Amino acid sequence: MSQMHSCTATAAALLAGPELPPIAFDNSFARELEGLYVPWQPAPVPDPRLLWFNDALAAELGLDAAALCGARGAALFGGNAVPAGAAPLAQAYAGHQFGGFSPQLGDGRALLLGEVIDRHGQRRDVAFKGSGRTPFARGGDGKAALGPVLREALLGEAMHVLGVPTTRALAVVATGEPVRRERALPGAVLTRVAASHLRVGSLEFFAARGQIQELTRLAEYALARHDPELAGRADRWLAWLHAVTGRQARLVAQWMNLGFIHGVMNTDNMTLSGETIDYGPCAFLEAYDPATVFSSIDHGGRYGFGNQPRIARWNLARLAEALLPLLVQEGPEAGTDRATAAAIERAQAVLEGFDAMFEAAHRAGQRAKLGLSGAQAQDGELADDWLDLLLQQQVDFTLAWRRLADAALGNTGPLRALFAAPVALEAWLARWHTRCAAEPTTAAARAAAMRRASPWLIPRNHRVEEALAAAVDRDDLAPFLRLLSALQQPFDERPTDADLAEPAAPELTAHYRTFCGT
């Protein structure tokens, strides 16, 4: 991970000529899915400045980080100089937003630049966000403001380090152009890297139009890209629905065990790859409460913390509906009157499996956080009762788990200090100690394992806001860089970063609101 000043583009490199350093693009989407997208160019920006470049991710992608810094990086990642081999395009997608269907969303302000094969042999999308209007822009200006762009970079890196599948930021360029929101804000372009940008809504787009040929091409592409082992199987669509369902169940289980609230789980913001995407109104829990909602537009609390598993399953039902024309063709009843009914039944059985997959992943994560290596029947109840205690006493979710690791070593003081009425904790702690006694591990090993399962540092909402405000209002990136750097080691307690780990004052959190990153 690096900052601007670690960029080492030399004067010689800059003088070498106007050619941009090569990025070994291999654009399968553009090549294989012609007709399903709109080729489009990024809008030039007046004064691009490379504010941040992700050296570590660049290395993973096999890019020449040194040569992509400075003025060249600014020109490239600002959209002024499209690199050789790129085939910029806008993707079409639809989506269920807050439960209602929007038949046409699409990349209104984003462009897929192309794909690269990373050091691990994985195909990764390199895309812009905020690179100007496209034919999908509807009323939007096609731009992005610096605050939301930095937010997405910060949150994506934090989630990545925490082990959560996620899209990541490669570069942030300030455009030198104001964007009009409630007030004029500095504009920026985000370069985003993803396993792909294919969403549940990508398939919904063609399914809703009855374009079955296009739907099939896109689904075959997505399956081959994310689940190549299923390609060619006679029952591949059902198996694929199962695979995507499992990824989402595991992803949301990770969110739940970290206290992450996505905030806008529309089907256009749910990937087929299983990566977290679109860090708009997301936020982390402070005091544990499943009813927590931070998003200013989520009036009904549809995307509140505790609803996330249910919403993921609902979204997957929309995926199943989009895939129905394909599911109908592959069953033993294909071609008969019963084909549709049978396909729906099979899809429903897969969707019903979501709960068990989620539960298994969620409980496994909780056991790790409780310091349990084995599984016993009553572990779920132990975890539920712990969460009930946190809820009753409005205890900070992150710190509570962390202080429980201290308690594993007999140091219960810091944990008790988080509770207004710690006496309520006694009975539960006794049960937990009894349960731990049935484990083969030592207390020291248990505490160490617990500290690897529960971060000390998360992107605290008020610290994120402070960092973004400094960048936006004072052109001061130092707080952003400090927070980003601290978040690289979320599991190690460091006195020097203690201010970043503390929760906000409860009044602040009670009034905290997040906004979609437009």
The entry of Mg ion, ligand AMP, none that residue 142 binds, CB within 5 to 8 Å by partner kind = ligand AMP
- Comparing CB distances to Mg ion, the nearer of 152 and 278 is 278
Helices (H) and strands (E) in the chain, counts: 19, 12
Give residue number: closest CB to ligand AMP. Answer: 140
- Comparing CB distances to ligand AMP, the nearer of 230 and 516 is 516
| Region of 122 on the Ramachandran plot (φ > 0 left; ψ -120 to 50 alpha; else beta) | beta
Whether 90 and 107 have beta carbons less than 8 Å apart is answered as yes
From the list 107, 125, 268, 396, the catalytic residue is 268
Whether 144 and 179 have beta carbons less than 8 Å apart is answered as yes
Q: Nearest CA to 236 among 346, 317, 132?
A: 346
The entry of Mg ion, ligand AMP, none that residue 156 binds, CB within 5 to 8 Å by partner kind = none
| CB 244 to Mg ion: min, Å | 18
* Alpha-carbon distance values, 434 to 43, 249, 379, 428 (Å): 63, 31, 12, 10
Whether 169 and 275 have beta carbons less than 8 Å apart is answered as no
The entry of Mg ion, ligand AMP, none that residue 254 binds, CB within 5 to 8 Å by partner kind = none
For ligand AMP, which residue of 73, 142, 304, 371 counts as binding (CB under 6 A)? 142
| CB 268 to Mg ion: min, Å | 5
SS3 329: helix
Give the per-residue contact string, 275-304, with ligand AMP (x = CB under 6 A; - = no).
---x-x------------------------
- Comparing CB distances to ligand AMP, the nearer of 143 and 313 is 143
Whether 493 and 456 have beta carbons less than 8 Å apart is answered as yes
Q: In whole angstroms, what is the distance from residue 43 CA to residue 380 CA?
A: 53
Rule CB under 6 A: is residue 141 a binding residue for ligand AMP? yes
| CB 133 to ligand AMP: min, Å | 6
Q: In whole angstroms, what is the distance from residue 384 CA to residue 267 CA?
A: 29
For ligand AMP, which residue of 140, 374, 413, 506 counts as binding (CB under 6 A)? 140
The entry of Mg ion, ligand AMP, none that residue 280 binds, CB within 5 to 8 Å by partner kind = ligand AMP
278 is catalytic: no
The entry of ligand AMP, Mg ion, none that residue 143 binds, CB within 5 to 8 Å by partner kind = ligand AMP
* Alpha-carbon distance values, 26 to 23, 99, 117, 480, 483 (Å): 9, 36, 7, 33, 34
The residue behind tokens 């975890």 is 383
For Mg ion, which residue of 54, 202, 245, 269 counts as binding (CB under 5 A)? 269
Rule CB under 6 A: is residue 262 a binding residue for ligand AMP? no
For residue 30, how many C-alpha atoms fall within 13 Å in the half-sphere facing its CB?
21
| Region of 46 on the Ramachandran plot (φ > 0 left; ψ -120 to 50 alpha; else beta) | alpha
Q: In whole angstroms, what is the distance from residue 19 CA to residue 226 CA?
A: 34
**Contact window for Mg ion (CB under 5 A) among 138-146, 268-276, 304-312, 409-417:** 268-276
Give 3-state DSSP helix, strand, coil % of the chain, rounded to 5.
50, 15, 40
The residue behind tokens 């034919």 is 135
For Mg ion, which residue of 278, 298, 330, 497 counts as binding (CB under 5 A)? 278
For residue 5, the one-letter residue type is: H
DSSP character at residue 84: T
**Contact window for ligand AMP (CB under 6 A) among 136-144, 159-167, 233-241, 332-340:** 136-144
For residue 50, the one-letter residue type is: L
**Contact window for Mg ion (CB under 5 A) among 134-142, 274-282, 346-354, 360-368:** 274-282
- Comparing CB distances to ligand AMP, the nearer of 90 and 370 is 90
For ligand AMP, which residue of 1, 59, 137, 429 counts as binding (CB under 6 A)? 137
For ligand AMP, which residue of 106, 187, 246, 490 counts as binding (CB under 6 A)? 106
Interface residues toward ligand AMP, by CB under 6 A: 105-110, 136-137, 140-143, 269, 278, 280, 516-518
Interface residues toward Mg ion, by CB under 5 A: 269, 278
Q: Which residues are catalytic?
A: 268
